[in-house]
Amino acid sequence: MTTQSATLAERVARIEGVLDHLATKADLERLRAEMQRLKFTLVSIQLTGVAIILAAMRL
């Protein structure tokens, strides 16, 4: 018997279903807030890197 591997979207949907089942709404809100902070930090780091590269190009 062969099994087909699930697509990425199917795997994400399954994981989201498990999270919804196991986590409380407060847990999910904390995770969402932390993800937003991490996204902001990542963008800040990326912009800093671009600024450093541009400054180095002017030397």
Which pLDDT score is estimated for 40? 94
Is the pLDDT confidence value at 3 over 90? no
For the chain, the domains span 24-59
- Alpha carbon distance 59, 50 (integer Å): 15
Which pLDDT score is estimated for 2? 54
Which pLDDT score is estimated for 22? 76
pTM (predicted TM-score): 0.51
Given a contact cutoff of 8 angstroms between Cβ atoms, the answer to whether 28 and 19 are in contact is: yes
Q: Could you report the per-residue pLDDT of 6-55, keeping only the tens digit for each?
A: 788 898 999 888 887 776 777 888 989 999 999 999 999 999 999 999 99
Which pLDDT score is estimated for 48? 97
